[in-house]
Each structure stands twice: as C-alpha cells, then as structure tokens.
C-alpha cells in the first residue's frame, strides 16, 4: 500500500483513529469486525509477533523512515497514513506518545477452558475499571510469570488503547478471557 499523506482529517479511512469510540471499535454486535488500537512501535511489534493482524497504520512523518520503518515493511498491504505531529494530534484528539498508532483486528474471545488448559498461576481481575490499572496488572502478571488472566465483565477492556500501551504489549502475551461471575466460573 502506498504511504498516504493526510491533508484532510475527515478523509475516508481515518475514522478508526478519530471518530470511533472504544465501544464502536469493539463492535460487540459483530465481534469478528472488532478493532483495537495499539500505540507505540514497541507495542505494535509485540502484537505482530504474537500473531495479531494490522489493518492500518497512522504515524508522524518522521517515523516513516524511523521507528515505524520495520512495521511498514512487515505489513506491506495495509494503508499507512502520515502527517505532522500537530495534524495527528488534531485528528486523534491527543498527542501521540510515541508517534505511531496501528489499528488491529480484535481477536474473538477465547473459551475459558482454552485459557485455563495449561495454566497453573491465574490472575483474576474483578471490577477494575481504570485502563492504566488493567495495563499495569497485565505488565506485572507477565513479569511474575502468570499463565492466564480472567476478567469479570465489569472490568475495563484490556485491549483499550491506554491499557495496551501501559501493559507494554503484555496483554498480547498472556492468555486471557472474560468471565461472568467469579463464583460461578470457579466451581
């Protein structure tokens, strides 16, 4: 795909980076069409290495030949949108921490039995609603060698952009799934 210089923040294809909310990106009615946003070259590389599929890349001009060059080379069939730091901040509504965002295909939720199949050490996250806390829990779980993470549905999404960034990509490395109720699922 060619590199597309952004001249209009309302151009087609950019809505996944600008106007869609986290809930719209998740697409709970059609989960196979769900998307999440990975932020920073390091996190995007971890996601790609873990088998996640990139759909589109948004990066500052300076990263085309810099921090994003290997990602662009690795994903030659996706659109790569680029612009100045100021233009991208205007598009997304925030300054990009590391200058690169990647829209990625959201995986379907894993069955609980699959996540627990080989797990010996499991973390259960119950009603944690702060995205940075979710990311920090996943990052700590990876550092401690945790085998699986279970989240109650009242917890926030581990594939939220901020949670993914704070986890430094750990959310892609530890099997996880949603559970309805701790009491029911653990018996």
Q: Are strands 122-125 and 80-83 parallel, antiparallel or unpaired?
A: unpaired
CATH number for the domain whose boundaries are 112-185: 3.40.1280.10
pLDDT tens-digit readout, 43-80: 999 999 999 999 999 999 999 999 999 999 999 999 99
Q: Where in the chain is the domain with CATH 3.40.1280.10?
A: 112-185
SS3 14: coil
Q: How far apart are CA 127 and CA 112, in angstroms?
A: 18
CATH number for the domain whose boundaries are 3-105: 3.30.1330.30
pLDDT at 121: 98
Q: Where in the chain is the domain with CATH 3.30.1330.30?
A: 3-105
SS3 102: strand
The answer to whether 55 and 35 have CB atoms below 8 angstroms apart is yes
Residue 107 has pLDDT above 60, yes or no: yes
């Amino acid at each position: 795909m060619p590199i597309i210089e952004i001249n209009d923040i309302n151009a087609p294809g950019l809505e996944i980076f600008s106007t869609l909310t986290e809930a719209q990106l998740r697409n709970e009615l059609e989960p196979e069409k769900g998307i999440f946003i990975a932020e920073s070259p390091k996190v995007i590389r971890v996601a790609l290495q873990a088998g996640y599929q990139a759909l589109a890349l948004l990066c500052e001009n300076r990263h085309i030949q810099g921090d994003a060059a290997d990602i662009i080379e690795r994903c030659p069939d996706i659109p790569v949108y680029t612009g100045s730091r100021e233009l991208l901040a205007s598009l997304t509504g925030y300054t990009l921490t590391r200058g690169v965002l990647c829209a990625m295909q959201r995986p379907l939720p894993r069955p609980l039995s699959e996540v627990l199949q080989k797990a010996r050490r499991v973390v259960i996250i119950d009603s944690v609603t702060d995205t940075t806390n979710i990311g920090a829990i996943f990052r700590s779980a990876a550092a401690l060698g945790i085998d699986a993470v279970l989240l109650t549905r009242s917890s926030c999404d581990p594939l939220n952009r901020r949670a993914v960034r704070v986890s430094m990509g750990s959310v892609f490395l530890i099997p996880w799934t949603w559970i309805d109720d701790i009491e029911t699922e653990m018996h």
